[in-house]
Every structure is written in C-alpha cells, then in structure tokens.
Structure 1
Amino acid sequence: MGGRERHIGTAERRARLALRQRLAAGARATTPEEVARSLVALHGTDPATVYLAVGARLAEADGTVAEVGRALYEDRTLVRMHGMRHTVFVFPAELAAVVHASTGPANAAKARAGLIKDMVTGSGGRLTEEWLREVETSALAALARRGQATVAELTRDEPRLKEQFTYAAGRSYESLHTVSSQLMRVLGVEGRVVRGRPLGAWTSSQFRWAVAPPHPDVPSDGAQAELLRRWLTVCGPATEADLKWWTGWRVTEVRRALTAIGATAVTLDGGMTAYVTAGDEEPVRAPAGPWAALLPGLDPTAMGWQERDWYLSPDLRPALFDRSGNVGPTVWWDGRVVGGWGQRPDGEVVWRLLETEGGGREATAAIEAEAARLTSWLAGTRVTPRFRTPLERELSR
C-alpha cells in the first residue's frame, strides 16, 4: 500500500461511479447476472430494490421482472442471503461461499448467542438451548422433505416452532417473539437456509425458505481479501472508514485485507487517503456524455460509501433519508444525487429536483425520459419502499 500517491478528484470518482456501477447509458448491462457481478451485492432487505436496481442498469429494462425471477428462482445464478452488517443481499451464486466465510461465522455466533439468551430469559427457562437444537433439527428435516416451505407450513410439521417468549421484559419496547421467525433468521445468518420464491408478487416481503446448498470450505482471511478486492474494483477509491462501514468488519480485518490484495493508496479532494486495487490508479476516461438515473431506495450505489458528500449534498439528506439512515428513491444527474422520486396511486413515476445547479433543459429531458422508462416497465405495479422517506411520501400521494 506504499509508494507514490496519485490524486483522484471528485470528477474522476463520479466518472468511475458512472461506468462501474453501470449507470451511464453506454455502460448498461444486458442481464441481471452482469449487473450483480458488476456491483458485487444488491441490497435485498426490500425485495423490490433488487428488481429496480437491476432495471435501472439494463440496456433493455422491459423484461426486468421476468429476468430477475429467472436468475433467482430458476437458474439460481443469483442468491439472496445474509451478508455484511447482518443485512440481506443478493449476490452472484459463485460469491456465496466467499461472502459467508468473510462475514458469516462471526455474525452467526453473535446471532445465535443472542437468540438463546433472549429465549431462555424471556421464557423463564422453559425454553432451553438443548430444546432449540432439537426443534431446529426437526424443522430442517421437514424443510428438506418439502423442498421449499413457508414458516406456517413448517410449524404444521414442527408445532414447537410456534412457542413464544417475551423480549425485553419490562422495557418500553417489550414484545412477544415467536421461535419460528427468530430461528429462521439465525439459520439464514448461519448460511443453513436461504430465501426461496416470495408469496405473491415480486414486491412481496414474505418468502418461502429452502435448505441452503453446502458452502465450500473457504479460509476467512482469503475470503475477506477476495470480497474486498471485488468491492474495491467497483467502488474504489474508498477510504478505510468506507470499507469498514460496508463490510462491517473490524478495522484490523480491513487493513489485513488491504495488505493482502496489495491495495494502492491515493488521495482525494479534501486530503483524505483512500485505496484502489493494484494497477487501478490510472486515470479513467469520463462517459461519452452526461447521464440520468432513477435509483430505488437502498440502492447499492447510493448506499455504497459511508462518506457521501462527493455525490450527495448534506442539504439533501433530510428529504431523502429516513431516521435510521436508509436512503429512499433518488434522482441522479451526471454523477450526483439531485432529487428524489415516487410513484402515484395510478402508477405514474414522478420526481422532483432538490438541487438545480447545472444540467438545465438537458438534465430535465434526460430525467423525464428515465421516469417514462421506469413507468413503462412497471406497467402499473405499485412499489412502496420498505423504508419510506419524507420526499417519497410527499410525491406518492
């Protein structure tokens, strides 16, 4: 990571974003798999985000729903699973073992320990760790027999999954938790089950479950190095803080992975040190022309870095983020966020500029074209973001 440091300014960072995030018109992809491999991970907490994020990056977007469904549920070239920061993502299938080995074991141990503690305490000792092991063995066997199943179907095979315990007894957020929902979450973090087809339409948050295919044994250090290399190729330059935030790793793990891949240090506007992969410090040519994009809530580009001032003005955040820091639908013009969008009850996509500097009529025309494109392929399907933001709520009335 030593040697001469090159400077990469904001304009070049935006050019890299446009090309590597498949957002400039000439950089768009032809398949969902191509999009996922380019971005490394698609946020999957909100199911609609996966489809909308892919559609925004396809040269021909009209077949997005069918093509993403094919990749997820027929060819299984994409897989929805827990990854960084205890978050659900969609990854290329060939990355599943790397993601699990790089982030899964530590997250899984913490998740299981938390469930056992909450369950034993919240049941007054009635439900024990040994009891949970017996129930999960039975539930996994039932899931294997069925192939795919909802939680309701599994509870018919293993009624003990319906047992409940009190979470945070005596506190303002006290609530009853059911063993089934909490156990399936833990098994997902452990990489033992995966989400299958949704119940209902592609926008549904209710999924069937399936037993996960076995993961090859990948050393943790090597997995972390490979995951960081792939992400830095797409998102570099990135600071150490960006990397720590995106992965959820300890700073020592981030530094070890940077060293393992021989990352190169560069400087950014403002004097910060950032990193790119070895050999990627050469200048990047800007796209052929300015570009517009309408990206969904939780889009991997908008959520890609912890430090976002180079593409998103702090003044825009109150309108575009919820109170937990989740980004809503955003409008982009030539490498920066300039506004947000929503969808009216009749299905029309509407948008508003919050930043008007630059672009003028060209920007307005390009954004209008993207809104019409999105309205067309949604074909009347209403998409309500899971995490709603002030501007999205206002535009969607």
Structure 2
Amino acid sequence: MRPPLEPALDRDGLARAWTEAGIDWQNNWRYHVIWWICQNGLATFGPIGRAGEPLLVRTENWIEQPRALSGESALRELATRYARARGPFRVKDLAWWTGLTVTEARSGITAAFDSGALVQTLARDAAGDPVRGAAGTLWVDPELLESAAREAPLPEWRLLAAFDEHLLGYTDRSAQLDQQHFDRIVPGRNGMFLSTVVNHGRVAGTWKRRRTKAGGLEIAPFPDTAIDAAALEPLNRTWADFHGVDAGSITITG
C-alpha cells in the first residue's frame, strides 16, 4: 500500500510553508530552490492538484521501488529514456541535453544498442538520399519504429505547446525548423520557447490563446508559409474541451 501523500503541495503552497516556517526567501529563488529539492531526491512532482498543476510530495512516498544506477548502467538507462521520450536522435543531441561528454553519450548509446533498447537508422535529406557520416547516424527506440509502421500516419497538422520536446530536446533542429526562423520561436533568444504550429513535422508558425472572453487562437505563420486554419479547428476544439473553455475562432496574423 502506498504511504499517505500528505503533505502534497503545489508551488505556491510550498512557498507559503517556507514563509510560515520563518524562512527568508525571494520570489526569484523559488524555481531554483524547488529544482534543488527535486534534483537531490527530497521531493518529486506527484499527483495532479485541483488547479491542474502537479503537486510536490516526498520522494519516498511516491517512488516506492527506486533503483540506484551508476557507471555504464546509468548511461544506458539515460540513453534509453531519452530515446523513448523523443524521436530519432544524434549522439550530440544526447550529450547536449544531458550535459554528458560526447564520449559518455556514446558509451550510453552503445550499451543501450547492445541491450536491444536502441537501434541505428539513417537520416535522409530533402531529396530522400541518405545523409552520410555522423550527421546521418540516428538512434531510435525500436518500439517507435514498429509503431510507426503499424499505426496510421501522424496527423498533417499539430498544435504543440511551448517547450515541447519536438524542438527543445535536440541541439540540431534542422529537421524540424529552418534556422532563419529560430528567433520567431525564441524571441530575443531569451530561452522562452513559444507554442508552435507544425505541418508534416516542420514548424510552420507559432500560436497563442487570446486572453479575451471569446477566446480563440492567434496563429502567426512564418513568412511565405500557408497555414490551413480549417485543419486546425479540430485541434483547437480538443484543446478547449480539455481545459474546459470556449474554443473561439482562429485568426491568422501577419
């Protein structure tokens, strides 16, 4: 039986607990303190609260059967999980995202490959020809390849949230995004990614919800890029239904 999850607090509740305990803290510290608490295994995000935000709970109450990994086993697990959360990736993607050296990333990938958790595939250019060398070598979860062959094709259009791993999880984003448009995704290059409109896997623009009673979406397409507003209508309604708000209309700006 799982131990009781009390206290389970959202981030505001945790900050109030600090204040009530007489801890002197500042608003711009909160993110970093919560990050430190979670990174050091004291707490973790657990159940979803009433406001739709994951609640922080004691790690030992949420993770009932923890595993302690080190060395090659830890590198193998990290490479495997990275692949499961994304699509095909390059060695440099894993190294960049995790902070590992390229040598460590290769070791994890090799161990995952030897265990059958990863398979190797090749990238192709716009003409469909294989990309040679390290740039063309991709690693992928074999179950992803099997499901892609077995299931129906992915939808032509997607509305992805800000910070979605489609872009965030890679250092080389050329397959998803023309580099000339990067500043439109991260204005000012301040690290704050905008929500994206994706067509056949390529980012075609950005979107945001209108902060009005009528609601709806504002779509900002990239220059010389056509956005099919009618194709986005079902996605808009799905998002609105999930959040319990009116879908509103879709406006193409620019």
Q: TM-score, normalised to structure 2's length?
A: 0.68
Give the letter for the 1:232 counterpart.
Answer: A
Work out the percentage of aligned pairs sharing the same amino acid: 21
Q: Which residue of the partner structure matches residue 236 of structure 2?
A: 371
Shift of 1:352: 2.9
Within 5 A, what are the aligned runs for 1:30-69?
none
Higher mean alpha-carbon deviation, 269-278 vs 329-338, is at 269-278
Shift of 1:188: 1.6
Change (3 A) 1:199 1:241: same
Is the 8 Å Cα contact of residues 338 and 355 (structure 1) preserved in structure 2? no
Residue of structure 2 aligned with 1:342, choices 168, 192, 208: 208
Within 5 A, what are the aligned runs for 1:169-208?
183-195=33-45, 201-202=51-52
- Give CA-to-partner distance per residue, 1:227-283, whole Å, 9 cap, x none: 312432553431111111222322222111111122554442353132325867979
Q: Which residue of the partner structure matches residue 152 of structure 1?
A: 16
Give the letter for the 1:212 counterpart.
Answer: T
Q: State how far apart, in whole Å, the 2-side matches of 1:151 and 1:281 are.
A: 40
* Residue-pair matches, total: 223
Which structure has more relative contact order (CA 8 Å, sep 6+)? It is: 1
Is the 8 Å Cα contact of residues 83 and 141 (structure 2) preserved in structure 1? no
Give the letter for the 1:380 counterpart.
Answer: V
Q: Which residue of the partner structure matches residue 231 of structure 1?
A: 82
Q: Which residue of the partner structure matches residue 119 of structure 1?
A: none
Give the letter for the 1:314 counterpart.
Answer: Q
Is the 8 Å Cα contact of residues 216 and 246 (structure 2) preserved in structure 1? no
What SS does the aligned partner of 1:301 have? Answer: helix
Give the letter for the 2:58 counterpart.
Answer: V
- Give CA-to-partner distance per residue, 1:145-169, whole Å, 9 cap, x none: 962352322443x43x22x6xxxxx
Q: Which residue of the partner structure matches residue 247 of structure 1?
A: 98
Residue of structure 2 aligned with 1:351, choices 219, 228, 231: 219
Change (3 A) 1:210 1:368: closer
Shift of 1:310: 1.2
Q: TM-score, normalised to structure 1's length?
A: 0.46
Q: Which residue of the partner structure matches residue 212 of structure 1?
A: 59
Q: Which runs of 5+ in 2 are unaligned?
A: 126-130
- Give CA-to-partner distance per residue, 1:183-206, whole Å, 9 cap, x none: 544222101112467887336xxx
Higher mean alpha-carbon deviation, 212-221 vs 315-324, is at 212-221
Give the letter for the 1:219 counterpart.
Answer: L
Give the letter for the 1:188 counterpart.
Answer: C
> Are 1:276 and 2:139 an aligned pair?
yes
Is the 8 Å Cα contact of residues 159 and 197 (structure 2) preserved in structure 1? yes
Give the letter for the 2:198 counterpart.
Answer: W
What SS does the aligned partner of 2:167 have? Answer: coil
Q: State how far apart, in whole Å, the 1-side matches of 2:222 and 2:27 are.
A: 42
Q: Which runs of 5+ in 1 are unaligned?
A: 1-74, 76-143, 165-175, 383-393
- Give CA-to-partner distance per residue, 1:128-155, whole Å, 9 cap, x none: xxxxxxxxxxxxxxxx996235232244
Change (3 A) 1:364 1:260: same
Change (3 A) 1:210 1:376: closer
Shift of 1:179: 8.4
Q: State how far apart, in whole Å, the 2-side matches of 1:311 and 1:247 are.
A: 20
